Structure 1
Amino acid sequence: MKVISTERSQVLASRIAGALGTGIVDVKFSQFPDGELYLAAATPDDEMVIVGSVTDNNALVQLLLLIDACEGSKNHLVLPYMAYARQDKKFKDGEPISARAIARLFKHNLADCTTVNIHEPDVLKYFGVPTRNISVGKEVGAYIKTLGLDNPLILSPDDGALSFAQGVASAGGWDCDYLDKTRISGTEVKMAPKEISSKSRPVVIVDDIISTGGTIATAAGMLYEQGATDVYAACVHGVLIGGAYSHLKVSGIREIFCSDTIERGCSRISAAPCIAAALKH
């Protein structure tokens, strides 16, 4: 077994290879003048782990090309992050279920697929091969331990992400709650923990994805008003578009950290050990 990766998942792939005790297959990437993508891989092994986060359309095409290049091998796809996963149902007539459309692409030349904290686990049924979803919640919790926080409160932005927050909180036996939103007026919304006060304690807001960071930035300001001593933000997938990192820092967030499913400067947690463990079973 060897590991091969798309251009934007090289760091995570090398860590997975290290955890598996195996090597990496070299790949050369380029682009034609008309925008078409090209890649050329060295000779694949009989069994391959193909690693590629789908962060945008080019990453998707590159991953499909890489899977095709590994024809003839027993291929295990690792999809650390899948764009379009949040469009998991039709909200208006005429809309596609984008997550379903993308998942259905992964059915040729694959033995199985592993995803990491996919936004909606129900999407797994659309993949054309056996697919499992793993969580790095405990790893996020392990990193929080290194911060040395005194009695932190772990918060999810809403009740839908509470189960993930509970997994994070279990790593340290910490209190866990979710942000409850109360509409004060047509333009004003108050956010506060549903049950547990944040007064005089540090708070860590955790979610599977931080994209624009708008909700977390607003919540941070309100938590400080409610007496929180410090506010941190953590996620698995640091999409961080449109200046999100700077926006969060300006809002008073002490530290923003994520995993390496999308490789960022603030990637403090690696999904590689969890992925390697899943591939071994």
Structure 2
Amino acid sequence: MTMMLFPMPGNERMTYAIAERVGCSVGKLELRRFPDGESYIRLHSAVAGCAVAVVCTLARPDDQFLQLLFAARLLRESGARSVHLVAPYLAYMRQDRRFHDGEALTSRQFAQLISAEFDGLVTVDPHLHRYSNLQEIYSIETEALTASPLLAQWICDHVEAPLIIGPDSESEQWAGAIAGLIDAPHAVFTKSRRGDRDVLIAAANLSAWKGRMPILVDDVISSGHTLANAAREILEQGFPAPIGLAVHGLFASDAEAMLRGLGCRLVTTDSIPHSSNAIALAAILGNALGGQVAAIDAKRLRNRPK
């Protein structure tokens, strides 16, 4: 299988780790900006006949998307047989319905933009709350991996007598899955949101699990207010400061300082580069990408005119 990977800026470490996993080469894209802010992109690798994948975690999608689009089109124009996107963190999944009249349904709009440029998408734990799967909004081949087994293994390796806690109902899918994998008790708090940074947490009574180490589990740490309010409730019930364990660490604004100020240890996967990264995703991303390329090649062969 001929495949080449291309890192967008800031994704070099993940790209080389995936390339080592699947045994492929890393190509070179030159990207810079003109003085007026417009992008310059030049391809320095021969890709004709290759399956190519662009690696770009979409933690800053508004800043990243145009260069990503230009790179995908350049690779296709240069003869790549298929163009894939490896986005360990996939943006624009939370606006999955119109909460107020006149709102843009950005999850669908972003999916349409990505689907127009790529043949396949590989990501990890996208925020699937009101969508059952990515195929509801993406028209290309998609692979939505879960990091739950990796998070569970990290807990097994580092924590004795864990208590898994989901800070809200949306986190139940991760908290429940991880607790099941390691045979640990778990509880889920309830949340009411009055604004982007105004969150009320109703905590479950944890007294039955005194002596266990609380671990707050979620898919994304963004503003940090949901985890911080849950951590305060845990502290008030006489437990030590919890570990904040998440798949994706966005850490917007002062989120990290706020959580560390409460005594929380922070642990994330390397989907978004951060000092809290302790869980590597390259193996599952590489395996999924290789399978997706093979599946698209097989489909192309089946559909080839005889």
Output the TM-score relative to the length of structure 2. Answer: 0.83
Which residue identity is paired with 1:67?
A: A
Asked whether the 8 Å contact 2:241–2:262 carries over to 1, the reply is no
1:80 and 2:88 are equivalent in the alignment: yes
Asked whether the 8 Å contact 2:216–2:245 carries over to 1, the reply is yes
CA distance in 2, matches of 1:262, 1:182: 27
Task: Specify which of 225, 237, 262 is matched with residue 226 of structure 1.
Answer: 237
Task: Specify which of 96, 99, 111 is matched with residue 103 of structure 1.
Answer: 111
Which residue identity is paired with 2:234?
A: L
In the TM superposition, what is the alpha-carbon distance from 1:98 to its structure 2 partner? 0.7
Q: Secondary structure at the match of 1:104?
A: helix
Which residue identity is paired with 1:62?
A: Q
1:250 and 2:261 are equivalent in the alignment: yes
Deviations 1:4-61 (A, max 9, x none): 1211222211111111122211222211112112222322431112211222212122
Which residue identity is paired with 1:39?
A: I
CA distance in 1, matches of 2:46, 2:67: 16
CA distance in 2, matches of 1:100, 1:127: 8
In the TM superposition, what is the alpha-carbon distance from 1:69 to its structure 2 partner? 1.9
Which residue identity is paired with 1:236?
A: V
* Alignment match, 1:53: 57
* Shift in CA distance, 63/42, structure 1 to aligned 2, threshold 3 Å: same
1:142 and 2:142 are equivalent in the alignment: no
Show structure 1 runs of 5+ residues with no match.
none
In the TM superposition, what is the alpha-carbon distance from 1:113 to its structure 2 partner? 1.3
CA distance in 2, matches of 1:100, 1:190: 30
Within-5 A mapping of 1:185-200: 189=200, 191-193=202-204, 197-200=208-211
Task: Specify which of 150, 170, 175 is matched with residue 185 of structure 2.
Answer: 175
* Alignment match, 1:24: 26
In the TM superposition, what is the alpha-carbon distance from 1:137 to its structure 2 partner? 1.1
CA distance in 2, matches of 1:173, 1:226: 23
CA distance in 2, matches of 1:257, 1:190: 22
* Alignment match, 1:37: 39
* Alignment match, 1:3: 5
Show structure 2 runs of 5+ residues with no match.
292-306
CA distance in 2, matches of 1:65, 1:189: 42
Q: Tell me how many residue pairs correspond in the alignment.
A: 276
**Bigger shift: 120-129 or 23-32?**
120-129
Asked whether the 8 Å contact 1:201–1:230 carries over to 2, the reply is no
Asked whether the 8 Å contact 1:9–1:261 carries over to 2, the reply is no
In the TM superposition, what is the alpha-carbon distance from 1:109 to its structure 2 partner? 4.7
* Alignment match, 2:74: 69
In the TM superposition, what is the alpha-carbon distance from 1:189 to its structure 2 partner? 4.9
In the TM superposition, what is the alpha-carbon distance from 1:169 to its structure 2 partner? 2.4
CA distance in 2, matches of 1:182, 1:126: 27
Percent of residue pairs bearing the same amino acid type: 27
* Shift in CA distance, 263/189, structure 1 to aligned 2, threshold 3 Å: closer
**Bigger shift: 203-212 or 69-78?**
69-78
Within-5 A mapping of 1:198-277: 198-253=209-264, 255-277=265-287
Q: Secondary structure at the match of 1:3?
A: strand
* Alignment match, 1:162: 172
Q: Secondary structure at the match of 1:84?
A: coil
Asked whether the 8 Å contact 1:198–1:227 carries over to 2, the reply is no
CA distance in 2, matches of 1:181, 1:91: 17
* Shift in CA distance, 44/231, structure 1 to aligned 2, threshold 3 Å: farther
Deviations 1:86-131 (A, max 9, x none): 1111011110111111111122353221121101262622223121
